[in-house]
């Protein structure tokens, strides 16, 4: 049985950074990724908040991270994780392409934004459709935008967007927000925010970029057009943990619980990036998590296995 020192699941900013730090520490690293390295940043049109890079596309930054990691020669293994089981002192990661046995595992499989599933959403993602106000809000200076959703995230991000947008329409299927009272009141008192009650998005329209939404009133069935330059969708986010089961401790929704060393409830398994129970999910925080997870894994491997 061939045993690797460190297996990393996911090649987004957390996983790629963990690979860099792991290899620099001298570990034998294998990086599992089901698609192209880069993770969610691949669908981000523009990035202006990565330190040292004034402006880049998400794809450009993904390539830079991947190329940097490749300098240290971790093994890239294109496969989708299916399960993780204990194998004596080691961990076995079962994948769509076989299995990998390792002394330690870093879970960096990230999270995904729940989609509306309406026409135009996929086509215009990165061209006016966004799932991150912090990432993309500044690109809509003095423009009208829409926020879809009525929970805390949607309402709080709508308030954040008023820093840039001239008007923020919050489209919600009910006649009141699901967000808590404080967040709801703050939004409703903001003169830039316009609630659009009892409505759902039928389609997102535009030729190359978002131009308007087609809305449907759920009570009357009447269709209407809402002209906006951008639409921010906050109908939920979920971690990619479907392969874990109840292996590690998690919070409601599946978010993995770690300590400050990125250690999970299972010895030898670490978690980094958006998959964690954390207050901020950004490229920079994911990279920081990846660095800490890799060094904690190094200390675990050298201390436990000698």
Mean pLDDT of the 66-90 span: 95
What's residue 218's pLDDT? 97
Q: Does domain 3-112+237-305 have CATH number 2.40.50.140?
A: no
Mean pLDDT of the 72-83 span: 95
The active-site residue out of 136, 142, 198, 211 is 136
Q: Model confidence over 27-51: pLDDT tens digits?
A: 999 999 987 777 777 766 667 788 9
Mean pLDDT of the 111-115 span: 88
Q: For the chain, what is the mean pLDDT?
A: 93
Q: Model confidence over 55-64: pLDDT tens digits?
A: 887 788 889 9
The active-site residue out of 28, 45, 67, 135 is 135
Write the CA distances from 63 to 58, 69, 208, integer angstroms: 9, 10, 24
Domain 3-112+237-305 matches domain 115-233 at the CATH topology level = yes
Q: DSSP string of 218-272? A: TTT--EEEEE-SEEEE-S-EEES-TTTTTSS-B-TTSPBP--TT-B-SSTTEEE-
Is residue 118 annotated as part of the catalytic site, yes or no? no
Better-scored residue on pLDDT, 119 or 44: 119
CA distance 256 to 274: 9
Q: 14-23, 78-87, 125-134: lowest mean pLDDT where?
A: 125-134
Q: CATH fold of 115-233, please?
A: FAD/NAD(P)-binding domain (3.50.50)
Residue spans per domain, the chain: 3-112+237-305, 115-233
The model's pTM is 0.78
Question: Cα 56 from chain centroid?
Answer: 18
List phi, psi (to 5°) of 56.
-160, 160
CA distance 109 to 289: 13
The active-site residue out of 28, 45, 132, 289 is 132
CA distance 113 to 40: 9
Q: Model confidence over 247-263: pLDDT tens digits?
A: 999 999 999 999 999 99
Query: Maximum distance among all alpha carbons in the chain?
Result: 69
Residue 175 has pLDDT above 70, yes or no: yes
Q: Using the Cα atoms of residue 25, residue 65, residue 287 and residue 18 in order, give the sign of their dihedral.
A: negative
3-state helix, strand, coil split of the chain in percent (to 5) is: 25, 30, 40
Is residue 135 annotated as part of the catalytic site, yes or no? yes
CA distance 150 to 173: 8
DSSP strands (E only) in 96-222: 98-107, 111-113, 129-130, 144-148, 167-171, 193-196, 199-205, 212-217
Q: Model confidence over 199-228: pLDDT tens digits?
A: 999 999 999 999 999 999 999 999 999 999
Instruction: Give the DSSP letter of residue 7.
Output: E
Is residue 136 annotated as part of the catalytic site, yes or no? yes
What's residue 153's pLDDT? 84
């Amino acid at each position: 049985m061939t045993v690797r020192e460190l297996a990393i699941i996911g090649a987004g900013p957390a996983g790629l950074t963990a690979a860099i730090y792991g290899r620099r520490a001298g570990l034998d690293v294998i990086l599992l990724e089901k698609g192209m390295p880069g993770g969610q940043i691949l669908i981000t049109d523009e990035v202006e908040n990565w330190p040292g890079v004034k402006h880049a596309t998400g794809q450009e930054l993904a390539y830079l991270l991947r190329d940097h990691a490749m300098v240290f020669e971790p093994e890239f293994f294109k496969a989708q994780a299916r399960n993780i089981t204990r194998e004596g002192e080691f961990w076995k990661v079962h994948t769509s392409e076989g299995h990998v046995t390792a002394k330690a595992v870093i879970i960096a499989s990230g999270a995904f934004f729940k989609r509306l599933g309406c026409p135009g959403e996929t086509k215009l993602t990165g061209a006016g459709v966004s799932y991150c106000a912090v990432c993309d809000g500044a690109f809509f200076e003095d423009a009208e935008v829409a926020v879809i959703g009525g929970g805390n995230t949607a309402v709080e991000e709508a308030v954040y967007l008023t820093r840039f947008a001239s008007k923020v329409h919050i489209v919600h299927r009910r006649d009141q927000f699901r967000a808590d009272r404080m967040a709801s009141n703050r939004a409703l008192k903001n003169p830039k925010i316009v609630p659009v009650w009892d409505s759902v998005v039928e389609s997102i329209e535009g030729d190359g970029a978002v131009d308007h939404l087609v809305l449907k009133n759920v009570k009357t069935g009447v269709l209407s057009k809402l002209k906006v330059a951008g639409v921010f969708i906050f109908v939920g986010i979920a971690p990619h943990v479907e392969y874990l089961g109840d292996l590690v401790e998690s919070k409601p929704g599946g978010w993995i619980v770690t300590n400050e060393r990125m250690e999970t409830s299972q010895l030898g398994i670490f978690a980094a990036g958006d998959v964690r129970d954390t207050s901020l999910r950004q490229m920079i925080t994911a990279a920081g998590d990846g660095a800490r997870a890799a060094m904690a894994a190094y200390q675990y491997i050298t201390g436990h296995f000698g």
